[in-house]
Structure 1
Amino acid sequence: MDRKLIYAFRGWIAFVAFVDLGTAVRSYIEKRSFLSKTISDVSDYVDEEYTTSRILGIFSILKALALMHCTLYIHYKPVVSMGICSLIISIMLYFTETIYFRAATLGFYVIFPCVLNVVTLAGLLYLPQYLKIWDIQPDVRRQCAVV
């Protein structure tokens, strides 16, 4: 049962990474970032405002890569720590842009990633310790790893 749970959680982390890759693609396709307030006329934007969208795209790619490594190597503490840090930074980005700086409106494009990130963060903080993944001997870890 424990092995099925960890495989299901790996699938969840991969899903969140896929969502981040979608955010990255969307950040490069659309003219403006969804982390900016809605303006009716897109022609009002200056080139500097596209920078937010491109930075969000690169950040999403980096976060997706961190989560993909976390999916594959969940049995290593430093990799899980990297995934946890990327999730915390992402949650901080969405909250600060929405609540503190008021640069974005609180809507689906802010709430959905935050909910995904909080659920994933809770899982990464709880499941490896609950399943005692890190207490397994190194030779057994290699057998559990996805190749």
Structure 2
Amino acid sequence: MAHWSDYSLRGWLSFLAFMHIGLCLRSFFDPNFLFGKIFHTNIHKETVFIRYFGCYSISQAFILIQSAIHLYVLPLQTITIFLLILFIILILLESFYYCTLDFYGGTLLPFMMSIISLIWLILFHFVWKPWLRVEINEDIVKSGLLHSGHQSHHHNKRNKSQHRYPDRMSSSNHKYGKIHSD
């Protein structure tokens, strides 16, 4: 049985990803979106910045969707954690250091959702570790291993002396790992 947080975390990350898709679309189709609704200053009001923000948002959405689909792939989750930290630092710097963001509903919602997602991902992978609590049904594991292409245990014992891939490695070069070039 899946851990209670599997599907809820996947849904949460998907929702966060679609929020970033919305940010991307609004920044590409509404040139006044960033400077009218998010940033309160008119410094560097160029469309290049808007397109960069749109590309950043769509890449963040793509990584969040992949993170929701492949929840147990730790390297992808560390990229997602890094991306969320980067987004949180961006909002904090722009709000309190550069003073170009107003810290209210338009920026507070993505900020808080990113913090919740970051905490949830860290708890999921480093505290809860649900993959350690899942009961493994041995019949399902055995049936998964015995599909076509896999050999039975007795068949492997009989043919242990033969090399499994004779076309790739010669038996004399196997010790040194040289590729057979016939």
- Residues 41 and 100, structure 2, Cα contact 8 Å, conserved in 1: no
Q: Which runs of 5+ in 2 are unaligned?
A: 145-182
Q: Does residue 21 of structure 2 align to residue 24 of structure 1?
A: no
- Which letter maps to 1:114? F
What value does the CA root-mean-square deviation take over the aligned residues?
2.6
Show the 5 A alignment for 1:108-127: 108-127=105-124
The structure 1 segments of at least 4 consecutive aligned residues displaced by more than 3 Å after TM superposition are 133-137
Match of 1:56 among 50, 53, 57: 53
Tell me, in whole angstroms, the C-alpha distance in 2 between the residues paired with 1:81 and 1:60. 18
Alignment-derived partner of residue 70 in structure 2: 73
For residues 96-142 of structure 1, the C-alpha deviation after alignment (integer angstroms, 9 at most, x for no partner) is 111111112222121010000000000000012344246589x97xx
Normalised by the length of structure 1, the TM-score is: 0.79
1:10 aligned residue: 10
- Change over 3 Å in CA distance of 1:17–1:90 after alignment to 2: same
Q: Is the 8 A contact 2:20 2:58 kept in 1?
A: yes
Displacement of 1:93: 1.1
Q: Is the 8 A contact 1:20 1:61 kept in 2?
A: yes
Identical positions, percent:
25
Equivalent residue pairs, number: 134
2:106 and 2:49 map into 1 onto residues whose CA distance is 15
Q: Which amino acid aligns with 2:22?
A: G
| Structure 1: gaps of 5 or more residues | 40-44
What's the CA shift string for 1:38-82, capped at 9, x where partnerless?
67xxxxx98x52222211111011111111111111111101001
* Higher RCO by CA contacts (8 Å cutoff, separation 6 or greater): 1
* Per-residue deviation, 1:4: 3.4
The alignment status of 1:104 with 2:108, answered yes or no, reads no
Contact 1:76–1:134 (Cα < 8 Å) also in 2: no
Which structure would you say has the larger Rg? 2
